[in-house]
Structure 1
Amino acid sequence: MSDPQHEQPAQLEPMPDDWRRALAVVAHPDDLEYGCSAAVAAWTDAGREVAYVLATRGEAGIDTLEPARCGPLREREQRASAAVVGVSEVEFLDHEDGVVQYGPALRRDIAAAVRRHRPELLITLNHRDTWGGVAWNTPDHVAVGRATLDAAGDAGNRWIFPDLLDQGLQPWDGVRWVAVAGSSSPTHAVDAGPGLDRAVASLLEHRTYIEALTKEDPESYARALLTGYARAAGERFGGRPAVAFEVFSR
């Protein structure tokens, strides 16, 4: 009889790769760079299209900068960060940082983005209350992650948010998977090795935020953090550095 305490965790499956377009929807600048952008680099290298949509400009994220100055700065850093991993389309939905509310307004905005970009793969960040155990998640992450999961279906239903039709946004029911980064229950992974250096460079574009967050050397901080995440995920992916996702099929 096996001992549950000594059972090895299940190996992660390779991510589906029969798609051409992906849309990543998150709450703040830097959300994608903390562990997900190595996968984005690999996808754009392979000729796939990836676009970013951010609910806020992260204007409440730096204590020493008032929102009116912080928001534009973090937007510039996000655009530069996205470019490092081959992403040129970056949109902002202008919800208020720190108090993003889950509900029809947020679902509508994300559904509209899905209809505009028509992705087969939709990506978001952990929508659960914690990061696993007692590490509490933020309300913005929870709201945007949950709304993104819901918007995958909203985008395909012409009778939900019918005003989007007046804007020329036809229903899109082509989302085949929603991949959640930062989940404590991952199911799939992408080899992070080829994109890891660019993921570090991408995170470093958020230099103002990093310098406010830690006194460590920014490059040492970014490399140690992302390498650690990739190594931990790789323990369930044949020993290769990896980016892990919890994948919901549709």
Structure 2
Amino acid sequence: MTDPQLEPMPDDWERALAVVAHPDDLEYGCSAAVAGWTDAGKDVTYLLASRGEAGIDTIAPVECGPLREREQRASAAVVGVSAVEFLGHRDGVIEYGPALRRDIAAAIRRHRPELVITLNHRDTWGPVVGGWWSTPDHRAVGRATLDAAGDAGNRWIFPELLTEQGLQPWNGVRWVAVAGSSTPTHAVDATPGLERSVRSLMEHHTYLEVLTDKDPEDYCREFLTGNVRQLAPRFGGLPAVGFELFPRQ
């Protein structure tokens, strides 16, 4: 059975908020799409639950966190994103629950996006059956983001966001787009942003040094090019960044 063709992502929006667990998650997931969006004048903000401080075995978290934060900001700048925020949840043990939902809902109220982007929230990467087990952080942040898109618009969920922080409810999220899904429904042409996505991932110098023995540029180019080519047959032959799109309105 042939997989269905992917629909183009909606483009009638102005602001997006991308919510992930760690530095480099967006660079592995969808930065080619982000580059194209910022080229078109759209405003994209990055929100990271942690600083990725537990991600490098040879560097203690107290040193690793600030280092990875700097690399994330440099990486975001390559694709036209200047606003990068960190929630400060502890890397590796991020918990799904009200505290995480509240923090993400607060960010949605602050930034008022029409499009919210997150990373695969399911148990596995790759095929639905036989894929690789995902990490607790990815599952927690993806699920909390999907829920927080609704929380942000309900004044009676986390009322302290209004009474203590002055954040008015925002019910303007029209879609939540999940990158890295094994069941994408929509896609963005990766061609205009592909080179910048490679350079963006390369900004994570320290992480790449311990991740692979390959030349960093070769590694980044091979990984990202391979990913976007996989979806080309389902998107008119164009290399594509896929998303599973959940409409909210």
TM bucket (normalised to shorter chain) is: over 0.9
Tell me what 1:14 maps to: 8
Distance 1:26 1:35 in 2: 10
Distance 1:35 1:110 in 2: 19
Q: Give structure 2 stretches of 5+ with no counterpart.
A: none
- The answer to whether 1:96 aligns with 2:96 is no
Q: Is the 8 A contact 1:192 1:243 kept in 2?
A: yes
What's the TM-score, normalizing by structure 1?
0.97
Q: Give structure 1 stretches of 5+ with no counterpart.
A: 1-6
**Counterpart amino acid of residue 156 in structure 1:** G
Q: Is the 8 A contact 2:33 2:188 kept in 1?
A: yes
**Counterpart amino acid of residue 109 in structure 1:** D
Which of residues 177, 180, 183 is equivalent to 2:178?
A: 180
Alignment identity in percent? Answer: 77
Distance 2:208 2:144 in 1: 28
What's the TM-score, normalizing by structure 2?
0.97
Which of residues 226, 245, 248 is equivalent to 1:247?
A: 245
Distance 2:42 2:243 in 1: 18
Which of residues 124, 140, 156 is equivalent to 2:153?
A: 156
Distance 1:210 1:153 in 2: 36
Which 4+ residue blocks in structure 1 deviate beyond 6 angstroms? none
Q: Is the 8 A contact 2:29 2:119 kept in 1?
A: no
| Secondary structure of the corresponding residue to residue 37 of structure 2 | helix
> How far is the alpha carbon of 1:78 from its aligned partner?
0.2
Which of residues 230, 234, 237 is equivalent to 1:236?
A: 234
Tell me what 1:209 maps to: 207
Which of residues 135, 138, 144 is equivalent to 2:135?
A: 138
Q: Is the 8 A contact 1:39 1:243 kept in 2?
A: yes
Distance 2:200 2:2 in 1: 33
| Secondary structure of the corresponding residue to residue 246 of structure 1 | strand
Distance 2:2 2:102 in 1: 41
1:17-166 correspondence runs (5 A):
17-131=11-125, 132=127, 133-166=130-163
For the aligned residues, what is the CA RMSD? 0.6
> How far is the alpha carbon of 1:8 from its aligned partner?
1.2
Distance 1:8 1:103 in 2: 38
> How far is the alpha carbon of 1:234 from its aligned partner?
1.5
> How far is the alpha carbon of 1:134 from its aligned partner?
2.8
